[in-house]
Amino acid sequence: MPQEFSPLQVLDWTPSADLTPVGEVVLVVLDVAPGPDHDAQVARVEALVAGCRDAGVPVVFARTMTGPAASVPAAPGLADRPEEYVVRRHRHSAFYGTELDLVVHGYGAQTVLLAGGTTDVSVHYSLVDAHQLDHHIRCVADLVTGTNPELHEAALRAIKYLQRDALVTTAAVETWLAGRRTPEEQTA
């Protein structure tokens, strides 16, 4: 049976206040899952999307499919712009049966930053695919919602097991965005 005290066990899954991305970053936005704090959570994801757009970080939306119908954006700021990609997710992982990996490569990114979604389903299973596809993964731990608190914590532990730097706070992303040069400065 599994060891009671394993050196592999994740003992601390506190999200980091430092994003430490590798290479370029793409923000992947999943549908904000139902939860007690849903409207406020939507507003926080909206703010993150706005911050990434302002800093020139590409944003990709993964819409959940129910048969032929895609989920609708939960707020105006979560609607895709003409130049942005939308992938249509029929399964747990946003990479499965979609063009998401191609898009991440197209942007020349090595780090997949993820917000929104169900921690123990779409978030965990999208991130394990990103991990297996050799991307660096970062999950905004306060912008994902678990099926319940127990599964939320379990999934955060599993994500931390995959990559030790994977869990970050919204503040970590904001700090990193503030320190980035604007698109204008980058081309200057």
Partner 1 sequence: MNTQGRTALVVVDFQGGDLSSSTSAYATDQLEKAKAIVAGCRAADLPVVWIQEVHKPHLTDMGRELDGSEGQHCIEGWADTEIAHGLDPLPTEHHVRKRRYSSFFATELDIVLKQYAVDSLVLIGGFTDICILYTAMDADQRDFRISVVSDVVSGSSRQAHDDALLMIAQLQDGALVTSEEVLAWLAPAEGAVSA
User: 79 vs 162, which CB is nearer to partner 1?
Assistant: 162
116-175: which residues touch partner 1 (CB under 8 A)?
Answer: 120-121, 124-125, 128, 131-132, 134-137, 147, 150-151, 154-155, 157-158, 160-166
CA-to-CA distance for 107 and 58, rounded, in angstroms?
8
Query: For residues 31 and 118, is the Cβ–Cβ distance under 8 A?
Result: no
Q: Specify the amino acid at residue 89.
A: R
Q: Is 37 in the site for partner 1 (CB under 8 A)?
A: no
CA-to-CA distance for 91 and 26, rounded, in angstroms?
21
**Cβ 150 to partner 1 shortest distance, Å:** 7
Q: Is 3 in the site for partner 1 (CB under 8 A)?
A: yes
User: 52 vs 155, which CB is nearer to partner 1?
Assistant: 155
Considering only 16, 35, 91, 174, the residue that binds partner 1 (CB under 8 A) is: 91
Q: Is 24 in the site for partner 1 (CB under 8 A)?
A: no
Q: Which residues pair with 30 in a beta bridge?
A: 62
Residues in the chain: 188
Question: How many residues lie near partner 1 (CB under 8 A)?
Answer: 39
Structure-token pair, residue 37: 């704090």
Which positions ≥6 away from 54 have C-beta within 8 Å?
A: 177, 182
Q: Specify the amino acid at residue 37.
A: D
Give the residues lining the site for partner 1 (CB under 8 A).
1-6, 8-10, 91-93, 96-97, 120-121, 124-125, 128, 131-132, 134-137, 147, 150-151, 154-155, 157-158, 160-166
